[in-house]
Amino acid sequence: MNNSEISSPLWRLTAATLCTGVLAGLGGMMLALILHYIQHLAFGYSPDFIISSESFLQGVSEATRSRRLIVLIICGAVAGAGWWALYRWGKPLVSIAAAVKSESPRMPFVSTTIHALLQIITVALGSPLGREVAPREIGAVSANWLSLRFRLTARETQIMIACGAGAGLAAVYNVPLGGAVFVLEVLLGAFRWPLLLPAIATSSVAALVAWIGLGNESQYHLMQLNTTPALLVWSAVMGPVFGVAAYGFTRMTNRAKAQAPRDARLIIYNLLNFAFIGILAGWLPQLLGNGKGPAQLSFDNQITVALAATVLMGKLVITWSTLRAGAQGGLLTPGLSNGALLACILGALWNIFWPGTSLGAFAIIGAAAFLASSMKMPLTAIVLIMEFTRVDHDFLIPILFAVSGSVACFTLCSKITDKK
């Protein structure tokens, strides 16, 4: 895109950009507050606070087994009935990617909002999928609505929709730079001034607005972690392993989504799926939620190799079954968690021969490498990990080593499969 493609007055573009950031920030903030409120209500922890120091993993671990099962059955009923009704009576959904590429961008406001709320409610009730798609959709549909009000051109509307999606991500996770890079790398696929400025502005404004209700907090809190020579070598050697793992995960989830029903079978499939998850969670509460809890345990060196392997296998199974049942949600945090858990396993084996590196350090690198390939966004993944954890700058080098190897191997696997 070049400057000549922008034809609306500068004041109108500026107003649309700022308003998009504000609405995306408010939308992301409200979704996050709804998520926390439902989590506390469902599992009975921190009843006097919406944002509390007690984590979701702590809350579900303290809940009784029967309560976990009941909540997950309710989750299945909400997911099945909700998405069946939406597909049956709502306007056809338009994805963010499709809207950004469309010559006449239109996202149905009511259907998209309901779709986002269903994701937030089910993730709050224990779905293993991510919550990041919902704020992106709210930000995008808000931007679409504003673009019509400001009478922007089709191309300008595409840009605003992409910026709204990135701003929603920035708001809910407090990652202003990550939201902007996501817009440029993933949604628009270009780094140019006419795209860079609105991407940065909307994500920054949205993150700032969300501070009102969510505070200026990082998603993960780290103990002191150090880079070591062993970690640097491990990052280069194991990067391709994460690429292969991410490729397998992507193939599995894509196939599950393609096979998911969109009719009345959604009700039965989701009830059975979430009841199954509720039974498993009676013994392994770490399975509930989008994976933030296990990732935090990995970063804090508070997970054993046996537990990491068990949770990783369980997460893979229930992520597949949930997508196959037709529930909706993101794969950003699940991918990050999978990478962290796999890194703990591989790091523990590495420490046998070259000891001295904490599992938390391995987990940070693995999370970035897996996320970069599974979501096909290497630059965004690097920035997100740095903003999510606020890890020491020295970790940038091993992260780059691992991400490079992971993406290269993922691409190679994709090319081999395409030739078959």
Predicted local confidence at residue 7, as pLDDT? 78
* Tokens 């921190």 found at: 46
Token digits of residue 211: 């501070």
Name beta bridge partners: 165. Answer: none
Among the four given CATH numbers 1.10.3080.10, 3.40.50.20, 3.40.190.100, 3.50.50.60, the one describing domain 229-419? 1.10.3080.10
**For residue 191, what are the CA distances in angstroms to 171, 195, 280?**
22, 7, 45
Residue 130 DSSP SS3? strand
- Tokens 């969300």 belong to 210
**Separation of alpha carbons 25 and 214, rounded Å:** 11
Q: In this structure, what are the phi and psi dihedrals at residue 66, rounded to the nearest 5 degrees?
A: -65, -35
Q: What backbone phi and psi angles, to 5 degrees, belong to 54?
A: -80, 125
> Model confidence at 47, in pLDDT bands (50, 70, 90)?
confident
Q: Which fold has domain 3-214?
A: Clc chloride channel (1.10.3080)
Topology alike, domains 3-214 and 229-419: yes
Q: In this predicted model, what pLDDT tens digit does every residue of 186-238 receive, in sequence order?
A: 999 999 988 999 999 999 999 999 999 999 988 998 888 999 999 999 999 99
- Tallying the residues shown for the chain, one arrives at 420
Per-residue model confidence as pLDDT tens digits over 366-403: 999 999 999 999 999 999 999 999 999 999 999 999 99
Hey, where are the domains in the chain?
3-214, 229-419
Share the mean pLDDT of the chain.
Answer: 95
User: Which 8-state DSSP code applies to residue 174?
Assistant: T
